[in-house]
Structure 1
């Protein structure tokens, strides 16, 4: 079977997201190719795909980030399209351009749009021009530490220093006092240069107490742009999301409608095509501010799928094939509540230090309305080269109290063991019982307040 020009899809990724994409392709009758590193030779994606192609050794720079190897795999296997998943090359405009130049359909946003929105400073300027509200800060990258210091002093503390090329919770630093700014600026610039190869920075006001709200959008090549509602991603540790839910709880209909309309307006203004996510901060007074756009599928996309009944990967493929959106008339009206918890190989008792090893025991939950997206099982050796995500547990229920109860039950069923193995499952089970989360009064500071070490002056 084909969808437009797409008959076979190469998945340029690994882990649970590769498995998730392969499954949708199989349901659509599309052929699949899994690429893999030496560390993933026995992976679930390799087992499930129609074909598999080794692209290099374990380190990502020599495999999943190595564009020539991925293009060669697509050529050798006769793939028509390349789906990048999330992470790795998913927001790399150069990769998108190479795919198209080599005759492959890139399942993602256009390279030019991705380049503009991936540059956080350019994205801010574009969204400001589209009328989206921004936190006070610089519209352009700041050239010098002195200029940045003057702006920070003018804005007032706390401020956050952000890398223009940053993302995924990396390349940012909160500064709470003027005297700490210069050192923080230099450290962030050096880190940005090392991690992203781009040391440009900007500064904006930092909200200590905020909700992190994001809007899932879909846009086709024919000018149709729609939103699929709002998600809450406020439970974070050091800007890394741990729990997500849809619809975003505790918000008035007016606020949700305004945020979703802003996302559609922003996407339309830049000619967005594909699946994407507009991220916002919501302050305690109910004012929202544009933060960034993720030009890819999000880790937390399943909660939107659960409350809309829409397969976002299938929609990505339809859009990439040049087809028009064909969604049910009530697609933007959520049904029930969905919550996702990320199970990582990290030890909460040791400040979330990585806890790799071999899973000698791996029991994951099941039962009514419980979805598990994973690539692991008994005997799985957690590679040291990649993200520590082991599984995503997603539940659905008619209302929020029932969804929380279902997720706590599901988390309690998890049993993952092995030498050196620790996971976040028990920690998340406890967090979901926190009174502020239960009352939908949580924010981005909650987990930090509970987990950061307390320093007492002697």
Structure 2
């Protein structure tokens, strides 16, 4: 951290990112007397790329030269650079104060095995099965055979890699050979190197994050514990604060461990430690040398300002930050709205077309806030899958969850993307979640969401695109085809839709779409948008009706052979077979990169590739034809 205090003149700070969290950080710094600028993700570079550090160095040098007489600072917010020791070292090189912990502490936290090894010397338990990292699937497989390890097994990246850095192996050698190799490639692209280690898997364990602030004189403040157990594909989609049901003995132990870990690492600033809890057992699994992306939740429960704590630790104040001893937020929840198909667990990025306007709600004894990362017309891209964060409070956790559930029903996000509001609503409504009876693996292993709407809603969604005159004209002409909504064949009948408002026709990139409000025979009212993705005469629309999303397609047999379609929107990462090749069932033949994930495309049947319709590095949309193929007459394996 910088050691210069409040007598400085003009203070300029560059905040990394342009999303809601970065803007919150910027607002707090502006209130503290800083002149704030923001660095978009495209200019920051990727820490895992060879070009990342040169891009960052060039950006910071340019920033430092803009006003030579000003005092320059950098706040990385929650950007991946905040976890890399190169940032504070680069700040020292250029002469910019980086508002991060000291470089040695950042370096320690940036290597999980070093951090966990330090904790083990302090007598703090962990789940590590080998402190010698592995670099290939073969090394891991050999280790598992020698140790006679079974499944499930947790694999983690030594370097920070966010949700990409964890893989839970459930079973089978096939996963070690194919899916594991793909995960490792994905991890290498994300972190710049491949080092992994195995951890013991705990059944029915909770995950808890403990944020803290420590000063150079040893003063320590521990913020309220956060339950981060509800995760989907390692994304913390729902958090609860303060964490409930922790044994008093365990809580006392955790506080002592946080104090000893912070002291041993000579930590200065705001950070967090992550633990798995099983009964009265607790195990350290990770630490973050930065603000957590959900810091707004725990700071509201604590009645304090996380950025003020950071500045105080950096000696911009001689006093501890003030705290409200009676905060309005007694209990709270944070929900992450992601661009994904939560049932298939596939990223679904795209253009944001419509957004509801309301951002704040107030109720007796409760509040809610919606923090959006994107605006209408923007594309959800590699900057991250988190479209928004919803925070809700209550006098107890059940009320906070009920408030969040009600607000979710008011949020409207439509376009070519798909989001997970309905999934979150069903999760909060689950009786086990309402009673706090859940664990780290609950979402991926036990929770079963709704798959498709009832027949009447499905019919409305399937008929909506044909309301547009251009689509209707194409259907009545020589290009008639079959229609599908999701995995169901349908017969569109736009005359059966009861419109309360609209329909309003619009064009997106010259393609026909419709929107409005409809009414069902049962009297329920729903907002509807059919956003066009692929052009006519065949076409595809992302249809949202209420909280339901459905892909609606018009299929025209225009080629001699069937076509395989893209599962996600993204960039073609690799084509694995040449034209004329026969691909065995379940063998990936093409990989698309979407929001950092490598999504393999395979068939349940043997197929022959006759013609590729997409090439390497090409951008493709979900549902776009990738290849012309023919299938074996054998039954699916």
Superposition TM-score, scaled by structure 2 size: 0.63
- Superposed, 1:257-406 pairs within 5 Å as 257-283=252-278, 285-321=279-315, 323=317, 326-327=320-321, 336-368=330-362, 369-377=367-375, 379-406=376-403
CA offsets 1:97-138 (integer angstroms, 9 cap, x no match): 111222211111111111122111111101111221111511
* Distance in 2 (alpha carbons) for counterparts of 1:229 and 1:215: 7
* Distance in 2 (alpha carbons) for counterparts of 1:56 and 1:135: 35
Q: Identify the match of residue 115 of structure 1 among 89, 107, 110.
A: 107
Assess if the C-alpha contact under 8 Å between 2:413 and 2:419 holds in 1: yes
Where does residue 442 of structure 1 map in the other structure?
438
Where 1:236 maps in the other structure, the secondary structure is: strand
Assess if the C-alpha contact under 8 Å between 1:228 and 1:331 holds in 2: no
Where 1:393 maps in the other structure, the secondary structure is: strand
Question: Structure 1 residues 57, 405: CA separation in 2 closer, same or farther (over 3 Å shift)?
Answer: same
* Distance in 1 (alpha carbons) for counterparts of 2:380 and 2:237: 21
* Distance in 1 (alpha carbons) for counterparts of 2:427 and 2:258: 30
Residue 143 of structure 1, CA deviation: 6.7
Q: Which moved more, 1:298-307 or 1:381-390?
A: 381-390
Q: Identify the match of residue 218 of structure 2 among 200, 214, 223.
A: 223
Assess if the C-alpha contact under 8 Å between 1:364 and 1:415 holds in 2: no
* Distance in 2 (alpha carbons) for counterparts of 1:339 and 1:199: 35
**Which runs of 5 or more residues in structure 1 are unaligned?**
39-54
Assess if the C-alpha contact under 8 Å between 1:277 and 1:294 holds in 2: yes
* Distance in 1 (alpha carbons) for counterparts of 2:72 and 2:348: 37
2:3 maps to 1:3: no
* Distance in 2 (alpha carbons) for counterparts of 1:195 and 1:202: 17
Question: Structure 1 residues 65, 236: CA separation in 2 closer, same or farther (over 3 Å shift)?
Answer: farther
* Distance in 2 (alpha carbons) for counterparts of 1:65 and 1:436: 49
Larger Rg over CA atoms: 2
Where does residue 164 of structure 2 map in the other structure?
170
Assess if the C-alpha contact under 8 Å between 2:272 and 2:289 holds in 1: yes
Question: Structure 1 residues 99, 451: CA separation in 2 closer, same or farther (over 3 Å shift)?
Answer: farther
Residue 325 of structure 1, CA deviation: 6.0
Q: Identify the match of residue 16 of structure 1 among 20, 31, 34.
A: 20
Where 2:217 maps in the other structure, the secondary structure is: coil
2:26 maps to 1:71: no
* Distance in 1 (alpha carbons) for counterparts of 2:175 and 2:405: 41
- Superposed, 1:35-184 pairs within 5 Å as 35-36=39-40, 55=43, 66-75=55-64, 76-77=66-67, 78=70, 80-142=72-134, 148-149=140-141, 151-153=143-145, 154=147, 156-157=149-150, 158-177=152-171, 179=173, 183=177
Where 2:280 maps in the other structure, the secondary structure is: coil
Question: Structure 1 residues 65, 37: CA separation in 2 closer, same or farther (over 3 Å shift)?
Answer: farther
Q: Which moved more, 1:301-310 or 1:319-328?
A: 319-328
2:237 maps to 1:242: yes
Residue 218 of structure 1, CA deviation: 0.5
Residue 452 of structure 1, CA deviation: 9.3
Structure with greater helix percent: 1
CA offsets 1:63-119 (integer angstroms, 9 cap, x no match): 899212331342125452100011331111112111122221111111111112211
The size of the alignment, in residue pairs, is: 438
Assess if the C-alpha contact under 8 Å between 2:21 and 2:78 holds in 1: yes
* Distance in 1 (alpha carbons) for counterparts of 2:176 and 2:426: 39
Assess if the C-alpha contact under 8 Å between 2:338 and 2:386 holds in 1: yes
Where does residue 31 of structure 2 map in the other structure?
27
RMSD, aligned α-carbons: 3.3
Question: Structure 1 residues 198, 375: CA separation in 2 closer, same or farther (over 3 Å shift)?
Answer: closer
* Distance in 1 (alpha carbons) for counterparts of 2:276 and 2:281: 8
* Distance in 1 (alpha carbons) for counterparts of 2:439 and 2:327: 24
CA offsets 1:154-203 (integer angstroms, 9 cap, x no match): 37322222221143121333234584685376555444333322222211
Superposition TM-score, scaled by structure 1 size: 0.85
Question: Structure 1 residues 327, 453: CA separation in 2 closer, same or farther (over 3 Å shift)?
Answer: same
Where 2:384 maps in the other structure, the secondary structure is: coil
Residue 431 of structure 1, CA deviation: 0.8
Residue 305 of structure 1, CA deviation: 1.0
Q: Which has the higher contact order (CA 8 A, sep 6+)?
A: 1
Residue 339 of structure 1, CA deviation: 0.6
Where does residue 405 of structure 2 map in the other structure?
408
Q: Identify the match of residue 426 of structure 1 among 419, 422, 428.
A: 422
Where 1:214 maps in the other structure, the secondary structure is: strand
Where does residue 207 of structure 1 map in the other structure?
202
Q: Which moved more, 1:293-302 or 1:63-72?
A: 63-72
Question: Structure 1 residues 221, 356: CA separation in 2 closer, same or farther (over 3 Å shift)?
Answer: same
CA offsets 1:418-442 (integer angstroms, 9 cap, x no match): 3x13222222112111111111111
Question: Structure 1 residues 201, 57: CA separation in 2 closer, same or farther (over 3 Å shift)?
Answer: closer
* Distance in 2 (alpha carbons) for counterparts of 1:155 and 1:327: 52
Structure with greater strand percent: 2
